[in-house]
Chain A
Amino acid sequence: MHKHSFDTEQRQSVLGTVFFLFLSVQRVFRIFWPFLLLYVFKGNAWKMLEPTWLIGLVVLVVLLVAHSILAWYHFYFFIKDNEFVLRKGYLKRVVIAIPFEKIVSINLKQGLIQQVLGVVQLEVDSAGSKKKEVAIYAISREVAEALQEQLGRYKTEISDSEESQTDSEQVDEKETILQLSLKDLLRIGIAKNHLRGLLVILAFGNNIYYQLKELFESEITSAADKTESFLLHSSSLALAGFIIFVLLVSLIISMAEVFLRYYDFNMKSFANAFSLQSGLLKRKNITIPFSKVQRLKRSINPIQKWLRISNIQLVQANSVEVSKDKDKVSIPGCDDQMFKELCDKIYEDPFSQQTYDMKPQRVFLYRYFTFSFLIMSIPVFALSLEFNWIWYLEILVPILAAGVAYLTYYRRSYQMSHDFLHVHSGMVAKDYSIIEVYKVQTVHIKRTFFQRRNGTASLNLGMAGSVVRIEYLSFDDAIRMKDQILYKIEVSKKKWM
């Protein structure tokens, strides 16, 4: 353990210079590529071989190399007084110190270049900052893991210091919770939401279509005419073939995505944290302390139900306002038992408490129906301007909207217990969230004009990293729930992260 001590200032691996060089080349390229492209397109490509250009290029390269070496040379990291300190910069000096208790998670990452160089990137995410503020770009995996462990250990020491130290023996004890084999990945891939793959095809197809169109205007139009007549005159067999083809492609896309993200996925649990590793090209390594989990989401779509797996997402307390999935850690392919195990690890006894069950009021069903009816009518209306026969589809819209509304209403329910709030939602898939009441940050209560008339209200619970919407409760229930939640937050002495 003491092989690596971080008490003194340390530089990154020497290979860090190469990585810094790569970063700065990338940055320069990002700024200048539009100009370069413009220049080349104006037919000036040959001018680039002239001496002035070449000299400029050489100067640029020398500057970049010098910059990378200086940046590497002035980049230090060390641990001092329970703080993780980074010192960097030669023109502008920057010192960043993060107290251990502010550290949310420590992540190891390895991009393609870093993989080639055999180094890893270590990111320290802390609360209250605007972005991933602290990152060491190039250290050997051995050093990174030692550092990760030390930072993690200090943290547990601090948080445990008030309690007894009986857990300290277990700190090093790892237990593998979940490991995904190729067969598991296959099942996860099959059960994925293929609509997304389909959208990717559409998006890219459209994009490629428009780019090609600009280049070969005339050829494309004739080709498009051909495909149109093909679609009109071809037999239903060809159409079925086309549909199967699209399905197959979206299946392949989903599979590829699953393999890239979850290849060799393994999840271990320590005394009070999880550690996850996964990825084919980009290995990701994430550590999540149990206490930082703000919300546990589980989602089961019909195919997943049939295969008896589910997707679990852990929403962490994080600094950046998330819409990106980065800090929502996905654990795919969990079965019921695994789910229970996870819950028991993170929470104390979440399911045995007595609950008070609530459901949205009936008005929600009618509002949702109206809403989805209108939303679904828009594309029908828009397309019918182009093709007349689409108008007939409008007959299907109310039926579809009724189905959507009913499923949504049926799935939605809320259970409040002394310490927990269980939220059931979803439409086709079954979604479920469990949150600890005292981790709520803000409570909004909302009543529209109509809601005031029919005696309902909606609650939005602001959590770190997500919002929990509780819609169309009876006004009394909503008020009661709000008061209880506020009360529980205010009397709680526990740290919410």
Chain B
Amino acid sequence: MQEENKQIWISDIPKSEEIEFTNLLPKYKLVLNIQWAIFFALFIVLIGVAYFKFDDIELIWFGLALIVWLVLLLTKFSFIQLGFPNKGYAIRQKDLHYRTGYLTHKIISVPFNRIQHVEIRQGFISKALNIAVLKIYTAGNSAHDLSLKGISLEMAEDIKQVITSKVTQDA
């Protein structure tokens, strides 16, 4: 079987450094902020209830919980603001990319011909702001599936259209 000596690195292929990412809608930052604000509000209520309900919790533990809460809150919110400009997506002819993360930069790439199905989701807050999540399922591990967050509902529908047409084209 030595009749062909295939090249390992093909030099003439699209380079991922050249991909230009589109930023997410600024409205999505608002959604994130609201979501996490609700989370932290619930958290502080829980701590407060626990402290006033049970008499045998000492003040120092309550104070410590408050400090931890504050630190977590500050880091989370600063990460949201700082990390937001890095979030973005890109669509090429044959694949889709999503970039995210502040401390750890991540780029997830999914070729269209490996997509199983697509789903558009809208939460309560997103609905009010006309924002949607496009969830893309592959046969790979679900932890590694791609969720395209922070795009308008129309955009989500458009991308879904593109993907489904590509997927059926290939089949």
Chain A: residues with CB nearer than 8 A to chain B? 127-128, 317, 321, 349, 352-356, 416-419, 440-449, 452, 460, 462-467, 479-480, 482-484, 486-487, 489-490, 492, 496-497
Contact = CB atoms under 8 A, between A and B. Distances in A.
Nearest to A354: B8
B18 to A, nearest CB: 10
Contact of B109 (A443, A463, A464): A443
A9 B60 CA distance: 72
Contacts of A349: 1
Contact of B114 (A442, A447, A466, A483): A442
B6 interface: yes
Given A444-B106, A446-B106, A466-B141, A480 B146 contact: no
A213 B124 CA distance: 50
Contact of B1 (A352, A356, A482): A352
A416 B8 CA distance: 7
Contact of B103 (A419, A448, A466, A489): A448
A497 B116 CA distance: 12
A362 B31 CA distance: 41
A30 B111 CA distance: 45
Nearest to A317: B139
B14 A487 contact: yes
B146 A442 contact: yes
30 contacts: A349-B1, A354-B5, A355-B8, A356-B8, A356-B9, A418-B7, A419-B6, A440-B114, A441-B138, A441-B144, A442-B109, A445-B109, A446-B106, A462-B138, A464-B139, A467-B143, A482-B16, A483-B13, A483-B16, A484-B10, A484-B13, A486-B16, A486-B109, A487-B10, A489-B111, A489-B113, A490-B94, A490-B111, A496-B114, A497-B139
B108 interface: yes
B9 A321 contact: no
A463 B140 contact: yes
B9 A484 contact: yes
B114 A444 contact: no
Main secondary structure of the interface of A (DSSP, over half): mixed
B37 interface: no
**Chain B interface residue number, banded:** 35 or more
B139 A467 contact: no
A442 B110 contact: yes
A489 B94 CA distance: 10
Contacts of A483: 13-16
A321 B142 contact: yes
A490 B113 CA distance: 7
A467 B94 contact: no
A466 B113 CA distance: 19
Nearest to B106: A446
Contacts of B109: 442-445, 482, 486
B78 to A, nearest CB: 15
B16 A479 contact: yes
Contacts of B10: 484, 487
A446 B108 CA distance: 9
- The interface centre, meaning the residue of B104, B140, B142 with most chain A CB atoms within 10 A of its CB, is B140
B9 A480 contact: yes
A157 to B, nearest CB: 19
A418 B6 CA distance: 6
B107 interface: yes
A104 to B, nearest CB: 10
Contacts of B103: 448-449
Interface in B35-77: none
Contact of A462 (B106, B116, B140): B140
Contacts of A440: 114
Nearest to A493: B170
Contacts of B2: 352
Nearest to A128: B116
Given A417-B6, A418-B7, A460-B144, 18 more contacts: A128-B117, A128-B139, A321-B141, A353-B8, A418-B6, A441-B114, A441-B138, A442-B144, A442-B146, A444-B144, A462-B141, A462-B144, A466-B141, A467-B143, A484-B10, A486-B16, A489-B113, A489-B114
A30 to B, nearest CB: 28
A349 B140 CA distance: 25
Given A127-B139, A354-B8, A355-B8, A449 B104 contact: yes
B6 A353 contact: yes
Contacts of B158: none
A418 B16 CA distance: 19
A391 to B, nearest CB: 27
Contacts of A445: 106-107, 109
B15 A418 contact: no
A418 B116 CA distance: 26
- The interface centre, meaning the residue of A353, A447, A479, A490 with most chain B CB atoms within 10 A of its CB, is A490
B142 A444 contact: no
Nearest to B5: A354
Interface in B89-142: 94-95, 101, 103-114, 116-117, 138-142
Nearest to B110: A442
A441 B139 contact: yes
A490 B144 CA distance: 19
